[in-house]
Amino acid sequence: MATLLLTQMAHRLPGLKQLPDYWLDVGFGELVFGLSSPVLPSGVAAWVALLLNGLLVAAVATGSVHLVSSSILLQETIQRDDHKYTSR
């Protein structure tokens, strides 16, 4: 949720408007996991796990935005079609 909110807020900033949302999601996903780990990992496997967790969070944030936006568009299309058929 933090990644999603950070991305939506940062996307409104003038310098970041040109970047695609998924790059912001990846950046904030990695930042959230990097800052939330109590100690920096000591081994390669721990760094890989940290990286993969950040990418997983980024994928969830990107997918949730896509899911919500596509369901809103679908609902608008259904309402428009219902209005078109009931106004005859």
Most confident range, picked from 34-43, 47-56, 62-71: 47-56
Q: What does the pLDDT read at residue 73? A: 72
Distance from C-alpha of 88 to C-alpha of 36, rounded to nearest angstrom? 58
Average the pLDDT over 25-50 and give the result: 83
**Ranges of H-type helices in 1-88:** 2-10, 21-36, 44-86
CA distance 41 to 45: 9
